[in-house]
Amino acid sequence: MKIILMQDMEKLGLKNDVITVKTGYARNYLIPKGYAVQASDSVLKMHNENLKQRAHKEEKIRQEAEKLAQKLADIKLVIGAKVSSAGKIFGSVNTIQLAEALNEKGFEIDRKNIILGEDAIKEIGNYKAVIKLHRDVRVDIDFEVVAE
């Protein structure tokens, strides 16, 4: 069944994507929850017209995201954590701490837009994270976890 996504869905697609999924999944989950609408001919026509009108706005937003990505590429973050004598962190470093560190540097990035290579960082050292600024713009940032 062809559907139009109404919001970003991990492992399915992004908002306004036209995708094909199994009928039961669409009718029993995506459509009732409001995550998607069925893509009939008339809905597709309206959808395409709306996309044409939004294209200009999207381009402007993408350019702003690219400018922000250039600024973020030069940043080196240092995150402090309480550490045992063996170098293990009490707890872990996750996207919340990264978002707070970026906020202190003057960048307001939602923690949901930060992707860590590992689920949780439990040792001191140097790591990389990916920040999604736009559907087409992603930036890698380096950060270091140090003992407090």
pLDDT tens for each residue of 45-91? 999 888 888 888 888 888 998 998 898 888 888 888 888 887 788 88
Q: Which of 12, 30, 60 is the last residue of a domain?
A: 60
Same domain, 81 and 141: yes
Pairing of strands 2-5, 36-38: antiparallel
**What is the pLDDT at residue 86?**
79
What is the domain extent for residue 11?
Answer: 2-60
Same domain, 111 and 89: yes
pLDDT tens digits, 8-31: 988 899 888 999 999 999 999 999
Same domain, 97 and 27: no
Q: Where are the alpha helices (DSSP H) in 37-146?
A: 41-73, 95-104
DSSP codes of every residue in 2-27: EEEESS-BTTTB-TT-EEE--HHHII
pLDDT tens digits, 104-134: 988 888 888 999 877 678 888 888 989 998 8
Q: Which of 10, 33, 60 is the last residue of a domain?
A: 60
The CATH number assigned to the domain holding 55 equals 3.40.5.10
Same domain, 16 and 86: no
